[in-house]
A = this chain, B = another copy of it.
Amino acid sequence: MSGEQELGITESKNHNTGEWYAEVVQKAKLADYAPMGGFIVTRPRGYELWERLQNHLDGWFKETGARNAYFPVLIPESFLEREADIVEGFDPEVAWVTHGGYEELEERLAVRPTSESIITPFMSEWTRSHRDLPMRLNQWCSVIRWEATETKPFFRTKEFLWQEGHTAHATEDGALDEVMMRLGQYERLYEDVLAIPVLRGKKPEHDKFPGADMTTTVEALMPDGKSVQGGTSHALGQSFAEAYDVTYTDEDEEERTAWTTSWGLSWRALGALIMTHSDDQGLVLPPAVAPEQVVIVPIWQEDTKDDVLQYATEVAAELEEAGDVRVHLDDRDQRNPGFKFNEWELKGVPLRIEIGPNEVEDEVVTAVRRSDNQNTKRELDRTELVDEVDDQLDTVFDELYAKAAENLAENVRTATEPEEIMGTIGQHGGFVKTPWCGDEACEEVIKEKVAAEIAMLPLEDGEAPEAAVEGGEEVAVEGDECTMCGEDATEVAYFAKTY
């Protein structure tokens, strides 16, 4: 059993995306499969990605009035049943606790599939006056949805980590603003932190969150042509507030019913991150989430070892202290530089710095960006090291984003015949936009043939997603006919295969 052979990725991203993805996840030590189908173990390198993502999002949530809380992991069946859509939507996938110790419980308890049905009743208790609104709660937790599908780490698991935000507002406008603000924060996470451009849209009526007025989504297009629902933000209207009795006394002393929202982003974002940027050498990470942003690999002979290591140590210290960069100096004796290069490439470190006797003499370092397909070696001047490294890290982000944006821009196409939708998706994947009447049956036609569905609809009132203009031809709805049935079109639908 050779450690070196084991280390490398053997599958091809282009030809065998699924197997390649699974291999990257395991060999970069992000996650392992648990013994129970549908469950995974998130290893420290994977969990650290989640922590960095959390730190960004949690900071934005707190700046915009959301406060973290923690509600029970178990929810009585009768609570789920109080909102008819929730029970209908989630009942088939609930894991049920029926026994505590040796006793059978009087009432079954659901392992939370989502927490509207336990959080909204408390919002009811805590809301008396209009002054208590808006009320904005968030929790970071795990949820379980018992779906019997193949396990795909971070994309398809029965248990997953997420955050779920829940808010109550005095007015519908307040609730809608909240929905769009949170969607904007998800977009910011993908675009500014994970280097993944996304499209903002809403889900068709039949694909909304159970009980919601509107479900909005950010969709990310993966390199294999499938769309990932990257995060969703729901306008829940008054159905939950009515079911769980969230009312408040308004300024005019009238009792009114609140408007609620919920919004969630799961570790599926890590799946999108891994899938989007990584390559046949392994993981590729944007600097903001990378556990190590820079790895220094010293290259020495017996007689140059001391000088090289001393110089490398100084460089590491300078970057850490003056540059506030996360640096790892790989000074292992028992591994050669080539082995180290491969290992850190596999682990996705954004910038590799090589230091040998020449670098010491010339007072420079040699840098290679993980995002640079040419592996170009660049000399960085020691005297401007902190700035140079900052620039290189920025360039890593820019290169990753540009490549993903190019993939998106090239893969939004237009179709006006059913065969064209199916042909285009079959051949290229990506998004195909087309006029649609709003009838689920017309989506089914496409779904049955090429397993593609409506990933999203552009948002109304000026909230149109960028790609509606950027990619493909413009699609006019007004006066147009549904591509599938010929009835009047009411929407532009973005069809895609989805994760």
Contact A96 B98 (CB under 8 A): yes
Copies in the complex: 2
Contacts of A142 in B (CB 8 A): 70, 73, 141
Minimum C-beta distance from A145 to chain B (A)? 9
Residue interface mask A44-58, B partner, CB < 8 A = 1: 101110110000000
Q: Are A99 and B101 in contact (CB under 8 A)?
A: no
In the complex, residue of chain B having the shortest beta-carbon distance to the beta carbon of A157: B72
The smallest beta-carbon distance between A98 and chain B, in angstroms, is 5
Of B93, B125, B137, which one neighbours A44 at CB under 8 angstroms? Answer: B137
Give A141 to B109 CA distance when docked, in angstroms.
Answer: 19
Tell me, yes or no, whether A499 is within 8 Å of chain B by CB.
no
The residues of B that contact A198 with a CB separation of less than 8 Å are: none
B146 near A73: Cβ-Cβ < 8 Å? no
Q: Does A322 contact B (CB under 8 A)?
A: no
Against B, the Cβ 8 Å flags (1 = close, 0 = not) of A21-53 are: 000000000001011100111111011101100
User: Is A71 located at the chain interface by the 8 A CB criterion?
Assistant: yes
Instruction: From known contacts A39-B72, A73-B144, infer whether A93 and B98 are also in contact, taking CB-CB under 8 Å.
Output: no
- Who on chain B is nearest to A143 by CB? B73
Any B CB within 8 A of the CB of A403: no
Task: Compute how far the CA of A137 lies from the CA of B46 in the bound complex, rounded to whole angstroms.
Answer: 13
Contact A32 B74 (CB under 8 A): no
Q: Which residues of B contact A97 (CB under 8 A)?
A: 95-98, 111
Least CB distance from A350 to B in Å reads 20
Which of chain B's residues has its CB closest to A72's CB? B39
Known: A92-B102, A99-B95. A36 touches B72 (CB 8 A): yes
- Please count how many residues in chain A sit with their CB below 8 Å of the partner chain's CB atoms: 52
Closest to A44 in B: B67
What are the residues of chain B within 8 A of A50 when measuring CB–CB?
70
Asked if A159 CB lies within 8 Å of chain B CBs, one says yes
CA A154 to CA B21, docked complex, whole Å: 42
By a CB distance below 8 angstroms, the chain B residues around A79 are: 35
Tell me whether B109 and A36 are in contact (CB under 8 A).
yes
Residues of B within 8 Å of A108, CB to CB, are 99
User: A69 interface residue, CB < 8 Å from B?
Assistant: yes
**Nearest-Cβ distance from residue A100 to partner chain B, whole angstroms:** 4
Starting from the known contacts A35-B79, A41-B118, A95-B97, 19 additional A-B residue pairs (CB-CB under 8 Å) come to: A32-B125, A36-B72, A36-B76, A40-B72, A41-B70, A42-B69, A47-B67, A48-B68, A73-B73, A73-B111, A91-B101, A94-B100, A95-B99, A97-B97, A97-B98, A99-B108, A100-B158, A101-B146, A111-B111
Of all A-B residue pairs in the complex, the 3 with the closest CB atoms, nearest first, are A44-B67, A100-B146, A42-B70
25 contacts between A and B (CB under 8 A): A32-B125, A34-B71, A34-B72, A34-B118, A36-B74, A40-B72, A41-B69, A41-B71, A41-B122, A42-B71, A44-B67, A46-B69, A47-B69, A47-B70, A51-B68, A70-B142, A74-B95, A93-B100, A93-B101, A94-B100, A95-B100, A95-B109, A100-B158, A101-B146, A141-B142
